[in-house]
Amino acid sequence: MQFISLLHRKRSNTPVTFPPWLQMGLLASLLVGLWFAFQGRIDLNLADEGFLWYGAWRTSLGEIPLRDFQSYDPGRYLWSAFWFHLFDNDGILALRVSNALFQTIGLTCGLLVLRRLTRSPWLLTGGGIVLLLWMFPRHKLFESSIALAAVYVAVLLVETPSLRQHFISGLFVGLAAFLGRQHGFYTAVSGILLISFIWLKLDRQHLLQKWLLWGGGILVGYSPMLIMLIAIPGLWNRFWQSLIFLIRIRNTNLPLPIPTPWSVPVDAMDWLTASHHISVGFGFMLLPLFNGAALVYLLWQKPGRLQTQTVLIAATFLSLTYIHYAFSRADLPHLAQGIDPMLLGVMAVVVYSLRAGWRVWGYGLALGLVGLTVLGIGFVSPGLSKLRAPADFYIEKTIRGDRLQIPQSTAQFISAIQEFYDQNVPSDEGILLAPHIPTLYPILERRSPIWDIYLLFPETQERQQQIITQLRQQQINWVILGDIALDGRQELRFQNTHPLVWREFAEQFEMVQSTNLPENYQILHRTP
């Protein structure tokens, strides 16, 4: 009895501790859950969000990403389709929940990096909120999550540059590529630079073995894609064509002019809008300034000092490559998708500065980061945008059983399409929705009659002729077509990106009168 009493007393005096990954996972779950509860039902993107939704929906029905429909790399669709089956629901909210679950993993990794800098629950929570706000837009949460996870994996490599950790780092690169080839490229280039830096500054042992294990890890991590390319007929051809497409357009995106703080027309804006645009400009300026200064600093430091700055090292070498993502299309969403490593790097500089006694610099940098976050990205988050909007701007609309709060203009557009579709298109007939409104396919529960669901870039005559042939063979009699000058560029109108298809519509279809569609949208019906 005395032994049991002593054991009970000893256990009661021992504090219960949870492993760091569980602590940070719980904090990340709380932050993501509250953020989702606040804005998970607000807004609906008819373009990019639908691009992801359509792919996840069709994957859940057994189709193959890239082969059967235009898509990103397969990993993210398999993730979403898994949760669709688990929820027995393939609606837009199910998609957003699956995205939020992946976001939780990414934010957990970001918090594990921050835990290297501080153990304060308040500072960890504050840093987590900053990272959370920059995980934008919600249909691109894979991008932010992979970037944060990449920094965590890089921190582990710098802390322990063992053979095992090099293999794990390579494994992550391969998995990242399976989710998005751009992530594979960014993390691979960062890995090459980081491994070289570690050899130069920290550890010169077993370099050849480390390179071999890192490369082997990449092959193992990317093996799901390699197996699919070998085992699934037709996938390799589509995969190769997608690479050729990037070479043909000589870019990875539609470029935009780089915004700068001094180019904002402040006289034509209210102070809040002007502050937002100025903050976005500062965000783009900060990326190269941080990367350049941090790289010079790290190369100048002695090995003993670098051992205490693992977060800055990891964040810098990831930011050096992810900066390309931000500048590939210099708008706020792409800034948000490329800024995550830099955010962790700036937080590391704040902590290192305070530890060194440079309080003015440290607190000033922390305040600037908060201001950049609130004005730069908080300004456009769906929940805060709704709070700032007029009372009648958002209305409730049910989309396939999910109640959403969306802008009235978006709701009216969807209602007009649904009403027309229900009244005119027979259930056994297909419909083409073009050029960039793929969200309407899962809303109408209709499969795209062609591989392309986002007809954005100028297309070759050969591919245009293939589209025309597909539409004829499938007897597609209905088309909802927008002729939009994206980014204000006339060359990006559908009539200019797909002139042969446009001529086919002009010769073989007639326009159906409709007063409910936005300007530059029309309904076409094939003539008898």
Q: Buried (b) or exposed (e) across 270-298, using 16+ Cβ within 10 A?
A: eeeebbbbbbbbbbbebbeebbeebbeeb
Query: What pLDDT does residue 514 have?
Result: 75
User: Among positive and negative, which fits the CA dihedral 355, 360, 365, 370?
Assistant: positive
Amino acid at 433: L
* CA gap 463, 475 in Å, rounded: 18
Other Cβ atoms within 10 Å of 54 Cβ, number? 25
d(CA 178, CA 205): 31
- CA 111 distance to own-chain centroid: 19
Per-state percent for the chain, helix, strand, coil, to nearest 5: 70, 5, 25
Which H/E stretch holds residue 332? helix 332-338
The number of CA neighbours under 13 Å toward the Cβ of 37 is 6
| Residue of 72, 89, 38, 55 lying closest to 146 (CA atoms) | 72
Where exactly are the structural domains of the chain? 20-39+91-382, 395-526
What does the block give as tokens for 356? 């060194």
Per-residue confidence (pLDDT) for residue 294, from 0 to 100: 98
- The CA angle 506-509-512, to the nearest 5 degrees, is 110
Helix (H, G, I), strand (E, B) or coil at 524: strand
Q: Cα-Cα-Cα-Cα dihedral of 414, 418, 421, 422, to 10°?
A: 180
Which ranges constitute the DSSP H helices of 202-234?
Answer: 207-221, 223-231
The candidate with the shortest Cα–Cα distance to 131, out of 115, 142, 144, 116, is 144
Amino acid 519: pLDDT:
82
Report pLDDT for 428: 85
Q: How far is the C-alpha of 511 from the C-alpha of 494, rounded, in Å?
A: 16
Residues whose CB falls within 8 Å of the CB of residue 9, separated by 6 or more in sequence, listed in order: none
Is residue 483 a contact partner of residue 524, using CB atoms and an 8 Å limit? no
| Domain 395-526: top CATH class | alpha beta
Cβ atoms 41, 117 nearer than 8 A: no
According to DSSP, the residues that pair with 482 across neighbouring strands are: 521
Q: Please list the alpha-helical segments (H only) found in 377-431.
A: 382-388, 408-424
Phi, psi (deg, nearest 5) at residue 515: -100, 0
Per-residue pLDDT of the chain (528 residues; tens, 9 = 90+): 443 344 344 444 555 688 999 999 999 999 999 999 999 999 999 999 999 999 999 999 999 999 999 999 999 999 999 999 999 999 999 999 999 999 999 999 999 999 999 999 999 999 999 999 999 999 999 999 999 999 999 999 999 999 999 999 999 999 999 999 999 999 999 999 999 999 999 999 999 999 999 999 999 999 999 999 999 999 999 999 999 999 998 888 999 999 999 999 999 999 999 999 999 999 999 999 999 999 999 999 999 889 999 999 999 999 999 999 999 999 999 999 999 999 999 999 999 999 999 999 999 999 999 999 999 999 899 999 999 999 999 999 999 999 999 999 999 999 999 999 999 999 888 999 999 999 999 999 999 999 999 999 999 999 999 999 999 999 999 999 999 999 999 999 999 999 999 999 999 999 998 768 888 899 999 998
Q: How many angstroms separate the Cα of 271 from the Cα of each of 294, 364, 371, 516?
A: 33, 22, 14, 35
Instruction: Retrieve residue 195's tokens.
Output: 């491994």
What angle do the packed helices 207-221 and 181-201 form, to 10 degrees?
170
- Output the pTM of the full model: 0.95
Q: Any residues with CB less than 8 A from the CB of 74 and at least 6 apart, and which?
A: 59, 64, 65, 66, 178, 224, 225, 228
Strands 478-482 and 431-434: parallel
The Cα 113–Cα 151 span in angstroms is 8
Pairing of strands 509-512, 521-526: antiparallel
Q: So what's the pLDDT on residue 460?
A: 95
Q: Which of 114, 164, 131 is nearest to 314 (CA)?
A: 114
Beta bridge partners of 406: 395
- Report the pLDDT value the prediction gives residue 7, as an integer from 0 to 100: 37
The string over 97-135, giving b where at least 16 C-beta atoms fall within 10 Å of a residue's C-beta and e elsewhere, is bbbbbbbbbbbbbbbbbbbbbbeeeebbebbbbbbbbbb
Q: Residue 13 corresponds to which tokens in the numbers above?
A: 């005096």
- Alpha-carbon distance 333 to 95, whole Å? 19
CA distance 165 to 294: 24
Contact 96, 400 (CB under 8 A): no
> CB of 338 within 8 A of CB of 324?
yes
Phi, psi for 512 (deg, rounded to 5): -100, 130
